[in-house]
Structure 1
Amino acid sequence: MPRETRNVASARRFVRDIAADWNTSEGIPEIAELLVSELVTNAMAYGSADVSAPSDIRITVGREKDLMTVDVYDSCIEIPRMRRADLLDTSGRGLSIVQDLSRNWGWTLNAYGKSVWFQLVAWP
């Protein structure tokens, strides 16, 4: 998807709809929607080393046993890092939310940049 702010809503719908279509456990579609929103927002804000030449973002959703995995790919090789947000800060909590609500999360470098991913126990 093009790296444009208006596409965050499309990413949320995409992942929520897949989770619902796959009959995940109660609450998983909403959690997946929230977490992909955080990762896509980060990819839009920080995902391209050259902001004058924005690149696309790619999202994949997979299933292995009881885990649903969502990957958000961007062209930047900078490793994501958690920030400690102050009480009145309006940003800086996204990766903490991903860590708190997912079974597991992380990042993987690849030939085109990186992916930041999370896993949810979707079929206990």
Structure 2
Amino acid sequence: MKRVGLLLITLVFAVSCTTASFQGMQMTRETPSFNVVGEFERTLSQHGIIGGWSGGSLIKLSDNDERIFSIISDEIQKKGGDAAIDVTIEYGAGFLNLLLNAITFSIYNPGKIVIKGTVIKYTN
């Protein structure tokens, strides 16, 4: 009986894991001088099948990584900047998203992604 309980707990922890990844992160010893051009905040919706609204869906109905990269690149170009700093990407869900997730027993899981950041232009 103890083995079954231990196996069940192990399976619950293995199935409930979620991950986050960051790409394009840079570190420099000396930061070049820059001027702040502007800030941006964009929200986009995401849809997935089987999973959670935090981006951990088994089947994703859209390529969120590509969309996020495109939004940041568009904001830099629109504001005439060279780079974006202090970029924050938040995954979340509103009341209606959570309700749809609950009604479909987590088969359909909508959510939203909020992307914020500061656009800069190098001075040198």
When the two structures are superposed, what TM-score results if normalisation uses the length of structure 1? 0.30
Structure number with greater Rg is 2
Point out the structure with the larger strand share.
Answer: 2
When the two structures are superposed, what TM-score results if normalisation uses the length of structure 2? 0.30
Tell which has more relative contact order, 1 or 2 (C-alpha 8 A, sep 6+): 2
